[in-house]
A and B are shown apart, each in its own frame.
Chain A
Amino acid sequence: MFSETIELRGHIIDSLILPKVLDEILKGGGNFKIAQVKIGQQRADQSFARIEVSAESGDALDDLILRLRQHGAEVAEKGDAQLAAAPADGIFPNDFYVTTNRQTFVRIGGKELEVRAPMLDSAIMIDRSKERASTVRFADVRKGMEIVVGHQGVRVVPAQRATSGTDVFQLLNTNISAERPKRVLIREIARELEEARKASGKILIVTGASVVHTGAAEYLVEMINGGYVDLIISGNALAVYDIESALFGTALGLNLERDGLSESGHENHLRAINVVRAAGGIARAVEAGTLTRGIMHACVKQKVDLLLTGSIRDDGPLPEVVTDSMEAQRLIREKIEDVRLALLMGTMFHSIAVANLLPGSVKTLAVDINPAVVAKLTDQQTFRALGLVTDIEPFMRELTECLKTLREGVRISR
């Protein structure tokens, strides 16, 4: 996304030049964000507007700006970003610029550098020798690093407004409540998944043990086997209960096939942990033929990248679980870099952790039975987020059904 700041001055309200310019931007396939508007108070007073204009390509932006100039738009003069050295390890200079998760550019020496990778609540570090700007978190800042301070010279690309009416993520931060019908929406999500599967860029699933508890594990396995999952980020619990159910048919002692608790069922998850620890990890347990079904099994078989991060409540944990939370954050950042579509389902802490690190350009779907969790996730400035308040089992059942129909449809048409 390329953008430029323009300024309009004059009797732009009475002459309808302001609405005209905004309409021109949208008609020209661009987007805008109004940075500032000052309306004249008296009849003869002139007004002022500063607008960030963005377009898909540099050429498209140039064409657009050229057209807008005809209506009096002037390209705003830009200054370089101001930098200050980090005073100590783990400490940012005062007034450090705090990032959003949107695409961001920093002007250094008259040249704009794109900030890699856009992430919420970080600072921006500049490496002049490599002409590189990158987000940096507290844990990684070192004494003397050059950090952007203030807002000058920092340009954040406005949230993309979809130009097609077919994109389910077109409405920014939309939440679909429990009372709303979801079938049509789920079909659209299935279509997005199918598209993402064929395209480059990863599909990320962030989920928790609720997938197993609600009996939705088989649908997730179907998705994994269908090639709809490239990366799973979750915690110890998902893996433990999935393996417990694979080995004993229970999840936290609750029989998944028949209703009710199993005899000594509460021990099962600990026995499952013990089996995997003894095998030397999940992958080894699969290789050894001990683990023959379930989500973890499918992940190993389909070579899905699996990142399990620990929490203070964990039993075990399983050997794969990353228990250093700073290290876990670093790994999440590394792995999500080329994620195209993210499904955050039925887990609050992992979903929030990942949403905090996702660039705003990633299409993000949050599914949870708790409306507060969905609201929290879609409010994370993940501008292409869609929230769905529903139990994940019916959601995933419907989703896998839609995916199957899509695939069969494709086969028939071929």
Chain B
Amino acid sequence: MRELLLCAPDYYGIEYEINPWMSRARGAKTDLAKAQWQGLHKTLTSLEAKVELVPPQPKLPDMVFTANAGLTVGQKFIPSNFRHQERAGEAPYFVQWMKEHGYEILALPANLYFEGEGDALFGGDAALFCGYKFRSDIQSHRAVADMLGCLVISVELVDPRFYHLDTCFCPLPDGSAFWFPNAFDEYGQRAIRAHVPELIDVDEDEAKHFSCNAVVLERDIVLPEGAPNLVKSLTSRGYQCHELPMSEFIKAGGACKCLTMFLPQREKC
């Protein structure tokens, strides 16, 4: 059974603007956000995932996006170094929780930005795909590769709307993946194609609904609603899609995957 880390949206809200989706003028509806998060929690639990909860903290509205807590491989946890000061305060709480749950903490040099599972996803031929530029530094990828001893494919993200890797790339258990290719530069696209044997392209309209921001649990895929073509394509490949309303989190630039961190993402590299 997969273990997942979530954080209840008790303090969630749009209190600053650090990506093109966020607008304080167009804030999230608190009750609706809570209901949508409950929906996600319920769906994941129903799929026999063990959901752990890290206590939310006041004044850290984005702590709900646990994918950015760090990257977990086996019992090792590499905490994020957030690029934006607004989110940096989350790090000690995540580290504390992981420590209490028996994880070994591997800290990156403080000068390297790295935003955890949001920018680091295992996939394809067992490589760790890492996005860089908007949030994580490519130099952090090298440090992560050193710590874990794995092959890291660094890809540049070029569309600010898709500022984390998990907003435009979603690996599947059979080595394939679905993605929004235009979120990557030409070299990134080529590097991904070379390491992922089969890629399902998501069109821009559906990508804008954060449809790549999905939680994959073997044959079950939990993703935001609004991607009928992708759902059809995944269903035809034998996946069971669970479409959830995520409007209030998309306002902050996140959805199902951003709200979830795997414990661990992989047992080993």
Contacts and interface: CB of A to CB of B under 8 A. Distances in A.
Contacts of A10: 138, 141-142, 145, 152, 154
B138 A72 contact: yes
Interface stretch (B27-35, B187-195, B215-223): B187-195
B151 A72 contact: no
A44 B153 contact: no
Contacts of A70: 133, 138
Interface residues of A, number: 16
A11 B133 contact: no
Contact of A17 (B138, B150, B151, B195): B138
A19 interface: yes
Interface residues of B, number: 25
Contacts of A44: 145, 149-151, 269
B60 interface: no
A70 B154 CA distance: 12
17 contacts: A10-B152, A11-B145, A11-B154, A14-B127, A15-B153, A15-B191, A16-B188, A17-B187, A20-B187, A43-B151, A44-B145, A46-B142, A46-B146, A70-B133, A71-B138, A71-B156, A74-B139
A72 B133 CA distance: 10
B155 interface: yes
Q: Which of B138, B152, B153, B269 has the most CB of A within 10 A?
A: B138
A333 interface: no
A16 B187 CA distance: 6
A354 to B, nearest CB: 45
Contacts of B190: 16
Contact of B195 (A9, A14, A19, A46): A14
A19 B188 CA distance: 11
Nearest to B150: A44
A15 B150 CA distance: 13
Contacts of B142: 9-11, 46, 72
Nearest to B185: A20
A234 to B, nearest CB: 54
Interface in A1-31: 9-11, 14-17, 19-20
Q: Which of A9, A19, A44, A46 has the most CB of B within 10 A?
A: A44
Interface of B: 127, 133, 137-139, 141-142, 145-146, 149-156, 185, 187-188, 190-191, 194-195, 269
Nearest to A10: B142
A72 B187 contact: no
A10 B155 CA distance: 13
Closest 3 CB pairs of A and B: A10-B142, A72-B138, A16-B187
A72 B150 contact: no
Classify the secondary structure of A's interface with B: loop
Contact of B151 (A9, A14, A19, A20): A14
Contacts of B269: 44
Contact of B191 (A9, A14, A43, A74): A14
A130 B194 CA distance: 56
A15 B154 contact: yes
A27 to B, nearest CB: 12
A19 B145 contact: no
A70 B133 CA distance: 7
A38 to B, nearest CB: 14
Given A14-B127, A14-B195, A16-B191, A46 B145 contact: yes
Nearest to B154: A15
Interface in A44-94: 44, 46, 70-72, 74
Contacts of A46: 142, 145-146
Nearest to A21: B187
Q: Which of B155, B185, B187 has the most CB of A within 10 A?
A: B187
A408 to B, nearest CB: 48
A72 B154 CA distance: 10
A46 B146 CA distance: 9
A20 B190 CA distance: 11
Contacts of A16: 187-188, 190-191
A10 to B, nearest CB: 4
Q: Which of A9, A17, A19, A43 has the most CB of B within 10 A?
A: A17
Contacts of B185: 20
Given A15-B155, A20-B185, A46-B142, 19 more contacts: A10-B138, A10-B142, A10-B145, A10-B152, A11-B151, A11-B153, A14-B151, A16-B187, A17-B138, A17-B154, A44-B151, A44-B269, A46-B145, A70-B133, A71-B156, A72-B137, A72-B139, A72-B141, A72-B142
A11 B187 CA distance: 13
Nearest to B148: A44
Given A20-B187, A44-B145, A44-B269, A11 B152 contact: yes
Q: Which of A10, A19, A74 has the most CB of B within 10 A?
A: A10
A355 to B, nearest CB: 41
Contact of B153 (A9, A14, A20): A14
